[in-house]
Structure 1
Amino acid sequence: MLMTSHPLPAPAPLSIALVSEHASPLATLGGVDAGGQNVHVAQLAGGLADRGHHVTVYTRRDDPSLPVVAPLRPGVLVHHVPAGPPEPVPKDDLLPYMDAFGRYLARQWRTRPPDVVHSHFWMSGLATLRATRIAGLPFLHTYHALGTVKRRHQGAADTSPPTRIVHETDVGLGCDRIVATCRDEVEELAAMGIPRAKADIVPCGVDPVAFRPDGPAVPRGPHRHRLLHLGRLVPRKGAAVSVAALGRLPGTELVVAGGPPADRLGTDPEVRRLRALAEEAGVADRVRFTGAVPPAMVPVLMRGADVVLCPADYEPFGIVPLEAMACGRPVVASAVGGQLDSVADGVTGRLVPAGDAPLLAAAVRLLLADPALRARYGRAGRRRVLERFSWARVAAATERSYRAVVAAHAPLAGAL
């Protein structure tokens, strides 16, 4: 008798809660607390929705005019949580409001529980740990940055609450699974006493359609070459290193994108510091600050640059190198954190020691002198993004982690 096989039914869609207490996917990028995490949460939510799941992002209400629930895109809602004053609060000052945030989540999930919860950043994890213990839900966590690393690099300048590392350890031990973004993070967690085997490595991603080599680019100015430094204007991102390197690169301009809106640049302490450094180095006429840029303008800026600079003191992952590579632009980055995984040294760009302006300038100089090499690195970067770092791949890998946790949790839930 001829036996016929039938395809296995597709797994049922999941109801997914993403918790991102300070980094709303609706925020304008480039502010002090608005950067890669906002992009990550928004794009992961979209990628999961594209796979048929129902996603709600829980973020703190920081404006009284915000609705309780707002659509982000089909399949994704943003839920504004009333925790603390409905106004902007620096993320390092949000810890006192996490009890209220967690209680609110628990109340929401008592009546409409998601299938799985994925928190982002340690304070989100703290609120989620409390809420999921009450509601009995599967719980994964992504750190985005670790207090041990921040304290090591910033020392007394670290404004994190003093209990941050203790809370991060509690979250890592209390969650079902960690979704780490790079190998370096797993080693940091192991040093904190969190087993390596508890972490799945799923990198950040980039949209290869929005970020592509062809398309409009910002017109060139009077200088032969253009460098781009893009990201939050905080000291650890290394814009001062980019400015210092410019002094060794004649005929080149540096565009610094990020920070407050353009009409408030003059009042920003970091912009004032960078402008003073540029004056001191004699390059003030070759440094241009754009202020915060809307997401649609980021690839336009990328395509207008010869080289993209990412010289952070430390970088938990770093989406900017991926965006540059997707646009076919070579990257010169510091050899730290996630940039060790994303930038292939000598293939898609160059990795240099953090804080070393002369070596940064030397790497850039070689690229500016060789258009063919820039083009080769750009093509290789684009290939690398398509092979490893599209948000579709990131969402699929994240879903596998979700399914494993949900499956492991089911017998426990059934026993209660």
Structure 2
Amino acid sequence: MVSMRDNPLTALRDQDVTGPRLHVAKLSEALHLHGHDLTVYTRRTDARLPERVRIASGFEVVHVPAGPVRQLDDTPYVGEFALSLQKIWTGDAPDLVHAHHWTSGFAAVLGARHSGIPVVQSYHALEGGDSTTYERLVGREAACVIATSGHEANELARLGVRRSKISTAPWGVDLRAFTPNGPSAPRNGMPRILTVGGLAPHDGVDDLINALTTVNWAELVVAGGPSGSTPDANLVRLRELAGRRGVAHRVTFLGRVPHADVPALLRSADVVACPQWHEPFGIVPIEAMACGVPVVASAVGGLTETVVHGVTGVHVPPREPRALARALRSLLSNEVQRQEMSCAAEDRARVRYDWQRIALEVGRAYQRVGAPAGAEATPALR
């Protein structure tokens, strides 16, 4: 594994880590359980860390020197990182390299160029803009590209990656933490609509607040955004909107919620809303479904694949508060339907998004480019 920007050690030791760092950690753990010998290469950002950290037999993290030994906002030392990889792999070549984010992919392609090691690439969403040239180059040089959804696969094809190179394997969910049973956050007696994510206009919280005006006797809880005492411009905008729309007393902004506290918060909700205008995949609806909570999601991107309309939740057109309100009213007023969707949602999360299932799919992508299969040490999938 090459994860230049995201050190999985922090995710293995800190249950509040999210995003690509968590993905690399959980996927690595699952692949190791399937019998793969695994080394994760990441950029050294802390002088106190040893060069190599052994997680288990056949599983270690290597901190590669490249640039200053501290956290950086961007990653301008790709070439230096690639040279270090090339030296390491000259004497100890792996069967396969799996790179995460285009910066890691660029370093992996350069580091493996003279040795012929196949490179598998995961972007975790395309950045576009100034990064497009590098993203396209990595996609064309890689032996295989793993998309998280059919939507991302289409984006990769438009980027210029051959369809025959693309495999699809979604992100997984920790089914030990995200379950229907367990502690639940306190409630105030009203039906609860929960949304977890950013506060920018494209995150759709504005639409939820506008929808709430016709969803009577229900509260909206918003988790995400700034965690400090000084509110940012998006939070100020949303609070002002809630005041103008006369629903400020039914809207609670929690700020950033530690990931360890998210399961309890999800269990406290009657419905989880994902009103984003665009979303290549979406982790929140998977975590909500694993907790047995139905989801109302915008019919965009990967959300249309994650949430099964009429089974685990409801799709609504993006940027249409009236349609969002109708879906919320319908679910909140029908307890039987919510219970049916709750059971279906939990079942889908366990069958489709268990990390062991994801590791099997990623392992099959490895085999497509000639890597040996793992030992399949884990029991059969549920």
What interval of TM-score do these two structures reach, taking the shorter chain for normalisation? 0.7 to 0.9
Instruction: Say whether residues 1:352 and 2:285 are aligned partners.
Output: no
Any conservation in 2 of the 1:19–1:117 contact (CA below 8 Å)?
Answer: no
Shift of 1:76: 4.4
Distance 2:53 2:232 in 1: 31
- Selected match of 1:37 from 20, 42, 52: 20
1:118 counterpart letter in structure 2:
H
Which stretch of structure 1 is more off in the superposition, 171-180 or 241-250? 241-250
Distance 1:327 1:163 in 2: 39
Any conservation in 2 of the 1:121–1:144 contact (CA below 8 Å)?
Answer: yes
Per-residue Cα deviation, 1:232-270 (whole angstroms, up to 9, x for no partner): 55554333333333333232222222344x4x1524444
Partner of 2:90: 110
Any conservation in 1 of the 2:40–2:61 contact (CA below 8 Å)?
Answer: yes
Shift of 1:325: 0.8
Q: After the TM superposition, which residues 76-91 of structure 1 pair with which residues of structure 2 at under 5 Å, given as runs?
A: 76-90=59-73
User: Which secondary structure state, in structure 2, belongs to the residue aligned with residue 26 of structure 1?
Assistant: helix
Gaps of 5+ in 2: 373-382
- Selected match of 2:344 from 357, 362, 380: 380
Q: TM-score, normalised by structure 2?
A: 0.86
Distance 1:297 1:22 in 2: 22
1:229 counterpart letter in structure 2:
T
Any conservation in 2 of the 1:332–1:363 contact (CA below 8 Å)?
Answer: yes
Shift of 1:271: 3.1
Instruction: Say whether residues 1:294 and 2:258 are aligned partners.
Output: yes
Partner of 1:12: none
Distance 1:239 1:66 in 2: 40
Q: TM-score, normalised by structure 1?
A: 0.80
Shift of 1:114: 2.7
Distance 2:18 2:70 in 1: 18
Q: How many residues align?
A: 370
Q: What percent identity do the matched residue pairs reach?
A: 43
Instruction: Say whether residues 1:133 and 2:113 are aligned partners.
Output: yes
Partner of 1:19: 3
Q: After the TM superposition, which residues 322-341 of structure 1 pair with which residues of structure 2 at under 5 Å, given as runs?
A: 322-341=286-305
Closer, same or farther: CA 68–310 of 1 in aligned 2, 3 Å: farther
User: Which secondary structure state, in structure 1, belongs to the residue aligned with residue 181 of structure 2?
Assistant: coil
Q: After the TM superposition, which residues 148-297 of structure 1 pair with which residues of structure 2 at under 5 Å, given as runs?
A: 162-221=129-188, 223-260=189-226, 262=227, 264-297=228-261
Distance 1:199 1:307 in 2: 34
Gaps of 5+ in 1: 1-16, 149-161, 409-416
Distance 1:292 1:80 in 2: 30
Per-residue Cα deviation, 1:319-374 (whole angstroms, up to 9, x for no partner): 11111111110001111121111110111001112222222222111111111111
Closer, same or farther: CA 195–299 of 1 in aligned 2, 3 Å: same
Closer, same or farther: CA 270–72 of 1 in aligned 2, 3 Å: farther
Any conservation in 2 of the 1:25–1:41 contact (CA below 8 Å)?
Answer: no
Distance 1:84 1:244 in 2: 48
- Selected match of 2:33 from 31, 44, 50: 50
2:142 counterpart letter in structure 1:
C
Closer, same or farther: CA 320–373 of 1 in aligned 2, 3 Å: same
Distance 1:142 1:241 in 2: 32
User: Which secondary structure state, in structure 1, belongs to the residue aligned with residue 230 of structure 2?
Assistant: helix
Which stretch of structure 1 is more off in the superposition, 65-74 or 172-181? 65-74
Distance 2:23 2:295 in 1: 20
Per-residue Cα deviation, 1:130-165 (whole angstroms, up to 9, x for no partner): 1221443221011211245xxxxxxxxxxxxx4311
Partner of 1:119: 99
1:112 counterpart letter in structure 2:
D
Shift of 1:213: 0.9
Partner of 1:367: 331
Shift of 1:230: 1.5
1:38 counterpart letter in structure 2:
R
Distance 2:45 2:234 in 1: 23
Distance 1:220 1:73 in 2: 42
